[in-house]
Structure 1
Amino acid sequence: MIWNETIECMSREQLRDLQSQRLRKMADYVYHNTPFYRKKFQEMGLEPGDIRDIDDIVKLPFTNKLDLRDNYPFGLTAVPMSQIVRIHASSGTTGKPVVVLYTRKDLAMWTEAISRAFTAYGATKNDIFQVSYGYGLFTGGLGAHDGATNIGASVIPMSSGNTQKQITLMHDFGTSVLCCTPSYAMFLAETLKDCEWPRDEFKLRIGAFGAEPWTEEMRHKLETSLGIKAYDIYGLSEISGPGVGYECECQNGTHLNEDYFYPEILNPETGEPMPEGQLGELTFTHLTKEGMPLLRYRTHDLTALHYEKCACGRTLVRMDRILGRCDDMLIIRGVNVFPSQIESVILSLPEYEPHFLLTVDRKDNTDTSELQVEVKEEYYTDEMSTMVGLQKKLEAELRSVIGLGFKVRLVEPRAIERSTGKAKRVIDKRKL
């Protein structure tokens, strides 16, 4: 199903014309309404009139998270505060949070983007959504809530946590669509196994999972465990929140709402554009936002873009799964490692649960790494030889796929602390 066929299936030529028109307006808008960007333009010798079409986007300045923190809280606002109707902020663990501001028009645009996503998943006004993203300053809860309401569905504003109650209401209210992080969905799946009701008494059929990178192996695990179709929803607070991108029924990449958020793929080191299909850093420019528009915001997410028409009929660009973030990449003994790679290896083997914790340290000027991994209940035993065999098997697979030797420590099921939000997968003591 398609929510907005006019936009989602627009020809690439028409879409380019629309993007060019909106970029010209945006360049003029930020120059006259955001002192931060006016100063940037002047330092570069750039005038709004220099932006004639979408190809001129490369002339515009970059924006990064430090710029947002340096202008905390409202220094990047482009309208009077009397026009701001919503304030969200990131859940960063260090320093000042990243603040994002919305006008009424911005909220309507965001709601439209998420409505496209939920419709692509097959959700309708007949569904009951259980929104188990956190409500509050985090964009996930209210963003998903507004999108589900907009398509006419019923919404349970559950928020995260209180897992037993989540299961009870999922059963009693007939939840058909679950919105949460994939790691929390995995926790819910574990809890469901032990609950008093059989699986066929639940009506769950769709999962909208995002807010953290996850793998195809995790998708398969969730679909098998919950009996659902699991879809990725992509977003980031600085750009809009969930709904910046979404999968369709083909699940062959994430469609980006590029009529609102123009994507580029850049070389993370040089900032130069990368060819189509090449891995690089994802960057977004707002084309319509009023409250706090950003130019060429560097997300640090690593992915690639593909522009050929999708089998679903949509022409919106498709993004590969996020490999990780530039700043999440670990360099251990000279090898680049992403947590998603580790998850993929673990889930490719039948003996292990998709829960792990990697601790990296440095002793005597040498990097050390210990990987705790849960063993499935049916494979966990007190027989030392069996457990050593499982340990060696996983160590060998990790070395083969990633090219690095990890010290694996196998633990019993549910030994690793669960999260109701974004999972904590890595402790890097070298940075502490």
Structure 2
Amino acid sequence: MAKSEKEKYWTPIIETMPRKEIEELQTKKLIHAVNYAYSNAEHYKKSFKEAGIKPEDVKTIDDFNKLPILYKDEIRERLQQTGDPFGGLLAIDFGEKILNIAASTGTTGVPTVYAYSWHDRQISSEQDSRLKWMKGYRPGDVFFMVGPRWHAYASQLFYAMDAMGLTVLIDCGYPLPFISKKHVMTMKTLKPNVYASPNISLYSIIEAAKSMNEDPRDVFSCCKLIDAGYGDVLTTAVRKRIEKETGIASENIFDSGGIAEPLWYYGDCEFHVGNHCLDDLFYTNVCDLETREPLAKGEKGECVITNLFSESLPIIRWGTEDMTIQDLEKCNCGRTHSRWTLLGRDAFATNIKGTKTFPTEIENALGDIPGFTEYFTILKYKKGPMEILKMKLAVDQTKIKDQEKFVKEVKSALKEKMGVESEIEVVKTIADLPFVGHKVIKVLDLTKEAE
């Protein structure tokens, strides 16, 4: 293999493995994962028995897909019943082998608790090394990650950066005005060439720079790439906004994200056509959200994930409730593992006149309107189909001369591009929107508040 090819991939042989070999490897690992989970985690002994399935029944991927899908609510229910924070999933000794314990953000309810062993962190950080290398991270780069360090992802991320030979700038990631001003100073003085953070932290730095009479484009001029997303889908509209604000070309703005419980993370390559997954470490497929049956290639459905390496908390068929489309075709970058187009969490979809509408569709419909931001909350004001889309929207006031005209333009675009009538309330700041952790709540269910 030519030197340029070696430099292109972190693990060339694995990342370009033929699909047939990937699926053979997945089958072997799935059989092992099923036996390990059944032998060591109380939850799977119970759920397999209830489903009438024994570990020895699983010999193929089709057999595996007959196992029940596991959802967060089952873990939460077991916590309520038994007090077990791991919901019967813990498969190793609590005191001796666990390295880290953390919790999810709690986007859809009570946060779920998960754990790393040393083995888990080593493998999961290998996942991150591959994904970051794909985006252009290289030894000697100066890396500035502004994000919530309480999240377990931080553990594997920084471990991966050490393995890759990067210099890491460590700081608090909360998007508070005085902290964001400190981040601006860090950018200007230490000049990291790789910046990564959730979108909200990135925008907070941009606004802090403006308040300090600094041009954000000058602040980010030291960067060769921006790694964004981390909890928010990086839509085309968002990518364009980041490019305009920072001066970083859109082809050098990358998407990152994942699902905390199965330690599954993803990212896009330089072609930006779907987010890459590591199929030697995970088995993923798309299922119908109602029937829970696997769907055919290219169909839209729920992303279901199985971790093929976890020692501490085996995750077998984790239902993410994220609506996705899977692509198994070889990418133009040469990688052969699956790619995913994420549409959004099903819980964030709203039913407008019988049509399921995702926040990402709204972002792309409104993204070209000056002053629009992806920070908005949809109000679910009734059960069942709603006649009108009601939203609270945080905007970039510096780009809006006439707020009434702006609202009319938003309503017109929603009507023209999505066929929906709307009521729009512009809030003063993003802080006026409801939050969970570091994320804006995309759909606020007012029907629950009324109960």
3-state DSSP of counterpart to 2:160:
helix
Q: Which amino acid aligns with 1:424?
A: I
1:406 is aligned to 2:422? yes
1:169 is aligned to 2:186? yes
On the 8 A contact 2:352/2:386 being kept in 1, the answer is no
Residue 358 (structure 2) aligned to one of 312, 318, 338: 338
Structure 2: distance between partners of 1:375 and 1:92? 27
Structure 2: distance between partners of 1:373 and 1:302? 25
Q: Where in structure 1 do 4 or more consecutive aligned residues deviate above 4 Å?
A: 93-96, 365-368, 410-420
- Kindly state the Cα deviation for residue 366 of structure 1 after the two structures are TM-superposed: 7.0
Query: Aligned Cα RMSD in Å?
Result: 2.5
Structure 2: distance between partners of 1:341 and 1:51? 39
Pairing 1:52-71 to 2, within 5 Å after superposition: 52-69=59-76, 70-71=78-79
Residue-by-residue CA offset, 1:208-238 (whole Å, 9 max, x unaligned)? 2222223111012112212332111121111
Residue 260 (structure 2) aligned to one of 218, 221, 237: 237
Q: Which residue of 2 aligns with 1:377?
A: 398
3-state DSSP of counterpart to 1:408:
strand
- Kindly state the Cα deviation for residue 398 of structure 1 after the two structures are TM-superposed: 0.4
- Kindly state the Cα deviation for residue 361 of structure 1 after the two structures are TM-superposed: 2.9
1:48 is aligned to 2:67? no
Q: Which residue of 1 aligns with 2:205?
A: 188
- Kindly state the Cα deviation for residue 37 of structure 1 after the two structures are TM-superposed: 0.7
Most deviating of 341-350 and 290-299: 341-350
Residue 356 (structure 1) aligned to one of 376, 383, 386: 376
Structure 2: distance between partners of 1:44 and 1:376? 55
3-state DSSP of counterpart to 1:91:
coil
- Kindly state the Cα deviation for residue 421 of structure 1 after the two structures are TM-superposed: 2.4
Residue-by-residue CA offset, 1:347-399 (whole Å, 9 max, x unaligned)? 12235344434344359x97662443525524324xxxxx4443222212102
Residue-by-residue CA offset, 1:82-111 (whole Å, 9 max, x unaligned)? 111111111227864311111111000110
Q: Which residue of 2 aligns with 1:384?
A: none
Number of residues paired by the alignment? Answer: 422
Q: Which residue of 2 aligns with 1:214?
A: 234
Structure 2: distance between partners of 1:327 and 1:94? 7
Structure 1: distance between partners of 2:62 and 2:428? 54
Structure 1: distance between partners of 2:347 and 2:443? 13
Distance 1:287 1:398, change over 3 A: same
1:97 is aligned to 2:133? no
On the 8 A contact 1:375/1:411 being kept in 2, the answer is no
Q: Which residue of 2 aligns with 1:83?
A: 97
Structure 2: distance between partners of 1:375 and 1:6? 46
Q: Which residue of 2 aligns with 1:392?
A: 408
Residue 269 (structure 1) aligned to one of 283, 290, 296: 290
Q: Which residue of 2 aligns with 1:283?
A: 304
3-state DSSP of counterpart to 2:348:
coil
- Kindly state the Cα deviation for residue 153 of structure 1 after the two structures are TM-superposed: 0.5
Structure 2: distance between partners of 1:415 and 1:97? 22
- Kindly state the Cα deviation for residue 150 of structure 1 after the two structures are TM-superposed: 1.9
- Kindly state the Cα deviation for residue 20 of structure 1 after the two structures are TM-superposed: 1.0
On the 8 A contact 2:351/2:386 being kept in 1, the answer is no
Q: Which residue of 1 aligns with 2:10?
A: 3
3-state DSSP of counterpart to 2:181:
helix
Unaligned runs of 5+ in 2: 1-7
Structure 2: distance between partners of 1:262 and 1:113? 14
**Normalising by the residue count of structure 1, what TM-score does the alignment of the two structures yield?**
0.90
On the 8 A contact 1:132/1:141 being kept in 2, the answer is no
